[in-house]
Amino acid sequence: MRQDHDGNNLPESVRRFVDEAVRGVSWRRSVRGEVRLELLAHFEDALRQYEKPEDRELRGRQMVEDFGDLRVLRPLIRRG
């Protein structure tokens, strides 16, 4: 069963990145929502081990940086 991920426990920088990443991914809102949930789940899983908010923020920013430029990422997400 799929778990819902709302991103509320993620750092603000990560939530902003995910929202920007899915903007323009698809004209269908349902597809954008699915992609958003997948990205949030990815970040939540990776940050689960960090208890301190400052550690979660630091690692979240590193992950966002590792994802790369959104101009490159969006077309890849669209193809996925």
- One DSSP character per residue, 28-54 reads SHHHHHHHHHHHHHHHHHHHTT--SHH
Mean pLDDT of 51-60: 96
pLDDT for the residue numbered 5: 59
Per domain, the residue ranges of the chain are 12-79
pLDDT (tens digit per residue) in 3-34: 445 678 899 999 999 999 998 777 778 888 88
**pTM surpassing 0.85?**
no
Q: What percent of the chain has pLDDT over 90?
A: 52
Written as one letter, the residue type at 32 is R
- One DSSP character per residue, 67-79 reads H--HHHHHHHHHH
